[in-house]
Structure 1
Amino acid sequence: MTTLIKSATIIDSSSPYHNQNKDLLIVDGKINKIADSIPFKNEYKLVEKENLHVSCGWFDTSVSFGEPGYEERETIKNGLQVAAKSGFTAVALNANTNPIIDNKSSVEYLLNKSTNSATKLYPITALTQQSKGIDLAELYDMQKHGAIAFGDYNKPIANDNLMKIALLYAQNFDGLVLSFPKNNSIAGEGIANEGVNSTKLGLKGSPALAEHIQIARDLFLLEYTGGKLHIPTISTAKSIDLIKEAKKKGLQVTCSVAIHNLCLSDDELHSFDSSYKTNPPLRTKNDIKALQKAVKSGIIDIITSDHNPIDIEHKKVEFSEAKDGTIGLESAFGALNTIFKLEDFIESITSKPKQIFGIESNSITEGNPAEITFFNPETEYIFNKEHILSTSKNSAFINKKMKGQVYGVFANNQLIIN
């Protein structure tokens, strides 16, 4: 298959064509030629779009689908199609399934289900057996069969010694350990950020302290053990300070932030819309400012959608009873491009996450495999239910103003265009 991409502005700081408008010819999945103008032939597939921009394929490091066990929320097949149409050529899939992904057979199941998709699936398996936080899962065995990291999704490891052992053990095979930043004994039954809004609304508060204590503990353990630690979806200004100091010490620690925590504050909770019930909870406007600043400075390494489909029976209920989570793949680019300049965040969804999770990143250069995202950074619109491609519709971004339209991807020798 030969694909011609006409008049595309290349956004890739690792490419010699960065910020240049070029034609790209892709032959059998590889970038064959990049030039000012390449003649079109009838046998070519043509990609020609208004204000077309291309970048290295985007990678989302925290995605949930449901399958196996919760197919009513999202199947792997449809989830990967949603990811491709949302601009992502790779996703890291969380282990919040039934059964939990905690052995090599379940890793192989995920990989087999995703074989022919344009978007590549990378499993993040459970750190502990059945994500119960008691015994370590078969980490080395799972990594040999395709796992890229280990973490109990949205479940903190309460046992300090277990986390210490995990960090020590994973060093034997250069494994990446994830630790969700929440101390349950401090957070208690809190369902909203502890503060003015939770008090006004009568919602049980989850203090930011619960996040800080867990991060501080994990950083002390990392300093003692060595190894690699990734802290997913931080949400407060103090968390940034803790991680910044750890990086200054030379510790191998990285972190991510969810897009909804970058854009939405706990002021949204006045509607009691359960789409805004997330874990970690939406925080204050001051936290948002600090998180955005940390993305620009590079203290926060990765931006994720933290896409988490929840079926209507578990979301369209009283706020306190609803399950945590919002979908985010479809709204990811539009939301980010609204609050940041393109150069402020593009590496946080391309090269940086791939480097941290040990995935090859192919720059837009002749001879390289084509793994490309197509988009227009200027289109403005209101995000509504018509833009949702996921089976579940629990989006925190409904009726929010967006900037930027995703056209699709070229990956795995497949062209997916909206």
Structure 2
Amino acid sequence: MTLLIKSATIVDSKSDFHNQTVDILIEDGKISQISETIENTKNYEELTLENLHVSQGWFDSSVSFGEPGYEDRETIANGLKTAALSGFTDVAVNSNTHPVIDCNTDISFLKAKSFGNAVNLYPVGALTRNSEGVDLAELYDMQNAGAVAFYDYQKPISNPNLVKIALQYAGNFGGLVLSFPQESKITGLGVMNEHITSTSLGLKGNPALAEELQIARDLFILEYTEGKLHIPTISTAKSVDLIRKAKAKNLNVTCSVAVHNLVFSDESLVGFDTNFKVLPPLRTQEDIEALIEGLKDGTIDMVTSDHNPLDIEHKKVEFDHAQYGTTGLESAFGALNSTFTTKKTVELLTKGKDRFGIENHPIKVGETACITLFNPDDTYTFSSEDIIATSKNSCFVDHKLKGKAYGIFANNQLVIK
């Protein structure tokens, strides 16, 4: 399609027009002209939006949709619509499904279901068969079918030798191994952060030690294997420090943090709202400050919404029995933009592409148009009406946010609210 975007401020340090307000002409999916003013002499379709800003398309490294098996929580079709209207052009989709995505035909299924969509879906195959942590899944075959990484979603690998073998094997073909940072024997039956708040609420605690032990173990194994490791959704100050030291030793390690772990502390659980029951759990304010500092200095490589839609039967129950997870695509930008500058927020939402082997498209003439459209100054209180996902389990409801996505232009398609 042909589209003329009017009066858009570009937020892209790789663009010659960074921080400038310009018109952008897109023809056949490519940027053909960028100028202060472009005359619409050929009656192009025009797009004019209030306080419009554009950037390279945003990427989320940890998204769950449910399909196949949990379509009542979310389908791939509606999940991709949610991603698009939340500003994401690229999403890495977890094997948090039934059956688990653990072979090449499963990867092909996800790719086929997303074919022709504006949003690019990148499957994350299970690291082990059926995510049971016993035998490695078909990693090489899955990568050939389109998997960008391997991860047993939120299931720690208890066998350290399996992590060693996975890193060694995947290293032969450049595969990216993800290891969830939790030592389950330390966690026990803990359902929230072990601290003063858990004691006052009478809830069993999940100590920071459980995360830090697992990270320390995996970093030792990584150093031995010289593999390629990504640690998803860290949550403690000491975890940041461990990874900072590992990077100083030039280990091939990256990590992410979930947006909600940057915003809410364990004190948010005082009302026993199960939407705040997430994994890893919400930690202390001191941990939040360390995570934010880790993002600022580059120790933490990327942020994720860790979007995990869950139906009411798994959330509106006693706290101990509720499942872990919150939706987050719709609120990710507003939450981050309330914490960081818009430039830093955009950087955090695009930075993870390289690690997952996803192509970047700067806003330049001749480049493929893969852009996010947003208003960074729209201040509002997030409500259930802002949730596009089928499931409504968001911990951001009634929280004040700054910034809202209009949508995206990607794969020669415009998707806006």
Given the two structures, how large is their TM-score scaled by the length of structure 1?
A: 0.99
Partner in structure 2 of residue 375 of structure 1: 374
Partner in structure 2 of residue 415 of structure 1: 414
Contact 1:295 1:345 survives alignment (8 Å): no
Partner in structure 1 of residue 23 of structure 2: 23
Contact 1:409 1:417 survives alignment (8 Å): yes
Partner in structure 2 of residue 327 of structure 1: 327
Partner in structure 2 of residue 361 of structure 1: 360
Residues 286-297 of structure 1 mapped to structure 2, 5 A cutoff: 286-297=286-297
Residue 42 of structure 1: how far off its partner (Å): 6.3
Residue 181 of structure 1: how far off its partner (Å): 0.3
Take 1:140 and 1:400, find their aligned partners in 2: how far apart are those partners? 43
1:64-103 C-alpha deviation (Å, 9 max, x unpaired): 0000000000000000000000000010000010000000
1:102-152 C-alpha deviation (Å, 9 max, x unpaired): 000000000000001111100011000000000000000000010000010
Residue 343 of structure 1: how far off its partner (Å): 2.2
Q: Secondary structure at the match of 1:95?
A: coil
Amino acid of the residue matched to residue 386 of structure 2? H
Residue 50 of structure 1: how far off its partner (Å): 1.1
1:126-185 C-alpha deviation (Å, 9 max, x unpaired): 000000000000000000010000010000000010000000000110000000000000
Take 2:348 and 2:95, find their aligned partners in 1: how far apart are those partners? 23
Partner in structure 2 of residue 37 of structure 1: 37
Partner in structure 2 of residue 342 of structure 1: 342
Contact 2:333 2:345 survives alignment (8 Å): no
Take 1:41 and 1:75, find their aligned partners in 2: how far apart are those partners? 42
Partner in structure 1 of residue 92 of structure 2: 92
Partner in structure 1 of residue 314 of structure 2: 314
Residue 43 of structure 1: how far off its partner (Å): 3.9
Take 1:41 and 1:235, find their aligned partners in 2: how far apart are those partners? 53
Take 2:379 and 2:179, find their aligned partners in 1: how far apart are those partners? 37
Take 2:113 and 2:305, find their aligned partners in 1: how far apart are those partners? 22
Shifted more, 341-350 versus 329-338: the winner is: 341-350
Take 1:216 and 1:405, find their aligned partners in 2: how far apart are those partners? 38
RMSD: 0.7
- Matching of residue 62 in structure 1 with residue 62 in structure 2: yes
Contact 1:193 1:206 survives alignment (8 Å): yes
Residues 61-140 of structure 1 mapped to structure 2, 5 A cutoff: 61-140=61-140
Gap change, CA 1:13 and 1:234, over 3 Å in 2: same
Residues 162-181 of structure 1 mapped to structure 2, 5 A cutoff: 162-181=162-181
Number of paired residues?
A: 417
Partner in structure 1 of residue 248 of structure 2: 248
Residue 4 of structure 1: how far off its partner (Å): 0.4
Question: Which ranges of structure 2 fall in alignment gaps of 5 or more residues?
Answer: none
Q: Secondary structure at the match of 2:338?
A: helix
1:324-345 C-alpha deviation (Å, 9 max, x unpaired): 0000000011111111111223
Residue 247 of structure 1: how far off its partner (Å): 0.1
Contact 1:2 1:43 survives alignment (8 Å): no
Take 2:396 and 2:259, find their aligned partners in 1: how far apart are those partners? 10
Residue 39 of structure 1: how far off its partner (Å): 1.2
Partner in structure 2 of residue 393 of structure 1: 392
Residue 40 of structure 1: how far off its partner (Å): 2.1
Amino acid of the residue matched to residue 353 of structure 1? G
Amino acid of the residue matched to residue 359 of structure 1? I
Given the two structures, how large is their TM-score scaled by the length of structure 2?
A: 0.99
Contact 1:296 1:345 survives alignment (8 Å): no
Partner in structure 2 of residue 402 of structure 1: 401
1:185-223 C-alpha deviation (Å, 9 max, x unpaired): 001110000000000000000000000000000000000
Amino acid of the residue matched to residue 111 of structure 1? K
Q: Secondary structure at the match of 1:375?
A: strand
Take 2:44 and 2:203, find their aligned partners in 1: how far apart are those partners? 58
Q: Secondary structure at the match of 1:408?
A: strand
